[in-house]
Each structure stands twice: as C-alpha cells, then as structure tokens.
Structure 1
Amino acid sequence: MLTTTEKIANAARKLLDKEGVQGVTMRRIATAVGITPMALYRHYPNRDGLLNALADEGFAQLAERLAALRLTGSIERQLTKILDLFLDHAFERPHLFELMFLTRREGARQYPQDFRERRSPTANVSADVIAHAMETGYFHKDDVWEIVFETGALMQGLVMLYLGGRMAMTQGEFRAFCHRSFGRYFNGIRK
C-alpha cells in the first residue's frame, strides 16, 4: 500500500507527464489523491518543493541508467552512448526532461562550481570520458567541465527545438542529426 506522500508524487508525476509543469497544481493533485489541498503541505512545503522532488527523482533515475551503461569502444562511441541515453530519457518523458534541465528551480546544480566539485552524477560520466580523451591525446587539452557543459547545452537545445516542434524529423532522423552535430563538435576538439 502506498503512503500518502507516494500517492501525491504519483499524481504529480502523471500530471507532469500529461500536461507539463503548468498542469501540476496542488488543487489538482489533492483531488487526484482524495485529500484536501491543505493536507498536501504536510508532505511537501509548496508546489516548488514538489516539483523539485520530481526533478530530483528524474536525475536519480537518469544517473542510475548512466551508471549501468557499458562504456566500451572508441571515445566518440562512448560519448554517443551517453548522448543516446539522454535522448531516450527526453523522448520517454519530455516534460520531466524540461523540468530537470530547463526550468529554473531552487537548489538546481549550477555551473561551474557544482560541476567542478562533481556534484552532478549525470555530468560526471561524460566528464570522465572527456578527461580520459584529453589524457590519452585523443582530444586537445582543454577545460573538461567547459566541454561537458557545452555538449550538454548542445544536446538540451536541440532536444527542446525538437520537442517544441521546430524540427520536422522523426525521432530516428533527429537522433541521427544529433549524432552528426556531436560529430562536428568532436571534430573541432579532436587532436
């Protein structure tokens, strides 16, 4: 049997997946769970706290999936596997992806300090591959975290353009476009 907190999170998750952040209201969640709106505040301090919990859960799931990746093959193959996992995450739950990466929220990790201090399990995986590529001479020596942040921005920007209907492509065509875009970026930093 689910706890009330779990029921609230499930209802919020369903609203987020269906309608995006704007669809997640305390009143609608309370109705879905069968409690009063005021009762929600015993479990979450406010709507932002609930949205933060959903984003944190999304990051934990993504980090778990990244940790399970078998990163073998060339540097670019490893980085493409990471990109594909992010794309899978965006396609599976586009509104959650937007909440995680593009919605301003309290406590979200910030560049550069949080990243340089390795507080981002989802960025650390790419950083390790890129650092190894620099150490072995595959990529030019540069600032690892700037490269991680730039490639993240490239991926997130392309995803939001695609999800926003600005790219007339199938998911497969879009994925191939992302692979080519990242290939062009890697060509610029390859030694």
Structure 2
Amino acid sequence: MTATTQEKIVAAARQLFETEGAGAVSMRRVADAVGITPMAIYRHFTNREELLKHISDIAFEEVAQEWAARAQHPDLMHGLLHSMENYLDYALQHPHLFDYSFSVARDDARRFPEDFRARKSPTLNVVADMLEEGVRRGLLRECDPWDLAMVLWGQAHGLIALYRAGRFSYDEAQFRAFYLQSLGVLFDGIKR
C-alpha cells in the first residue's frame, strides 16, 4: 500500500526528530525529504508544533502498546519491572523523542494529577493499572495507584536523566543493572 502524503510527512519528520532532535524538524527540511513544498505541509498540520505533537503522540501509543505487551507476565511484579525497563529502553533507543516527551516543558504536556487520573497517559496507565491490580490482589500495600505510579516514574526518570547527563561512570550494562536494582529496592518497600 502506498503511503499518503501525511504519512510521508510524519515519517520524514520523525526521521529528523529521531536522528537530530526536535530542533531539526523544520517545515522546509521535511518538505525537501518528502518532495513537496513547505506550504503543502500546512494542508495536513497547522504548524510545526502540531506536527511535533503528532509524532510524540504516535510514539507514546507505540510505547504504551509495547509496555502493555511486556507487562503481561504471570508474576505481576515481574511485569511491573518489565514496564519500567521499557522506559529505560525507550530513553536509550530514542533519546530525542524521550527528551521531547518527558523532559521538555511544553504547554500540551500532561499534568499530574488531573490528566493522569483522567487516563490521558497511555504509558503510565499501564503502570497504574498493574499497581491497582497488585493492591487488589493483596500483593502491594494499600495505596493510591496513581501516586505510586508517579513515584516509580520519578525514580526511573531521575536515574535516567542523571545517567544521560554523565553523572554515572557506568557503561550501559552497569547502569541497567543499577537501575533495575534500585527499582527492586523500591518494590520491596511497597510489597505487602
């Protein structure tokens, strides 16, 4: 099946985004990559910010689907650990998308608690659902699953941000082991 013009625009913009970061995504560069005029892009996207948001939303959905698939583990705690490991994988494999999605101040960014409790986060929904299930099954201490999901996210994000800023002398394998161990410590604190 032949890709539509909009799909070609998104693919070209995402390629620029992935390799060079959000700053590299200009309407001119995207148009050149697709073989259209920059003005033709505006038939599909109101402005550059809408295009970037569209790319980010697609990436969120892809990650959420992957997290949900990997979280399907007979042992709920292993599933939860896998979902948090997916966050690390995403940060390391897609650093520019990761930064734009999770580390850059944006007007359209989801806000805690209202947006998250309204289930507007395809990725954190997966984690909160597992935590709620863990509480329901008596595996985890009684807690608010959204508050705990945010604590887990904060722990994971903080370590990843420090690693990416060069604050660890570990190579990637050593950091991954440390990251997973730290999450294990946190999980031990919430288990019943």
TM-score by length of 2: 0.88
The whole-number CA distance in structure 2 between the counterparts of 1:164 and 1:10 is: 29
The whole-number CA distance in structure 2 between the counterparts of 1:57 and 1:23 is: 18
- What does 1:29-44 align with in structure 2 at a 5 Å threshold? 29-44=30-45
- State percent identity of aligned pairs: 41
Correspondence for 2:60: 59
Q: Which runs of 5+ in 1 are unaligned?
A: none
The whole-number CA distance in structure 2 between the counterparts of 1:78 and 1:67 is: 9
Matched-pair contact (CA < 8 Å) for 1:16–1:96 = yes
Q: Could you tell which deviates more after superposition, 72-81 or 149-158?
A: 72-81
The whole-number CA distance in structure 1 between the counterparts of 2:69 and 2:178 is: 25
The whole-number CA distance in structure 2 between the counterparts of 1:139 and 1:70 is: 17
Amino acid at match of 2:171: T
Amino acid at match of 1:188: G
Matched-pair contact (CA < 8 Å) for 2:71–2:83 = no
Correspondence for 1:139: 140
The whole-number CA distance in structure 2 between the counterparts of 1:166 and 1:6 is: 39
Amino acid at match of 1:133: G
Correspondence for 1:96: 97
The whole-number CA distance in structure 1 between the counterparts of 2:40 and 2:107 is: 23
The whole-number CA distance in structure 1 between the counterparts of 2:71 and 2:139 is: 20
Correspondence for 1:78: 79
Correspondence for 2:27: 26
The whole-number CA distance in structure 1 between the counterparts of 2:167 and 2:34 is: 36
Once the 2 structures are TM-superposed, how far is the Cα of residue 57 of structure 1 from its aligned partner?
0.5
Matched-pair contact (CA < 8 Å) for 1:94–1:163 = no
Once the 2 structures are TM-superposed, how far is the Cα of residue 69 of structure 1 from its aligned partner?
2.3
Matched-pair contact (CA < 8 Å) for 1:26–1:40 = yes
Amino acid at match of 1:10: A
Secondary structure (helix, strand or coil) at the match of 1:76 reads helix
Amino acid at match of 2:97: L
Matched-pair contact (CA < 8 Å) for 2:18–2:97 = yes
Correspondence for 2:174: 173
Once the 2 structures are TM-superposed, how far is the Cα of residue 30 of structure 1 from its aligned partner?
2.0
Note the alpha carbon deviations across 1:102-123, whole angstroms, 9 max, x for none: 2233433221112212232311
Aligned-CA RMSD value: 1.9
Q: Which runs of 5+ in 2 are unaligned?
A: none
Correspondence for 2:183: 182
Once the 2 structures are TM-superposed, how far is the Cα of residue 70 of structure 1 from its aligned partner?
5.1
Amino acid at match of 1:48: E
Secondary structure (helix, strand or coil) at the match of 1:148 reads helix
Correspondence for 2:110: 109
The whole-number CA distance in structure 2 between the counterparts of 1:131 and 1:24 is: 39
Once the 2 structures are TM-superposed, how far is the Cα of residue 73 of structure 1 from its aligned partner?
4.3
Tell me whether 1:119 sits opposite 2:120 in the alignment. Answer: yes
Secondary structure (helix, strand or coil) at the match of 2:112 reads coil
Count of residue pairs brought into register by the alignment: 191
Tell me whether 1:11 sits opposite 2:12 in the alignment. Answer: yes
Matched-pair contact (CA < 8 Å) for 1:52–1:105 = no
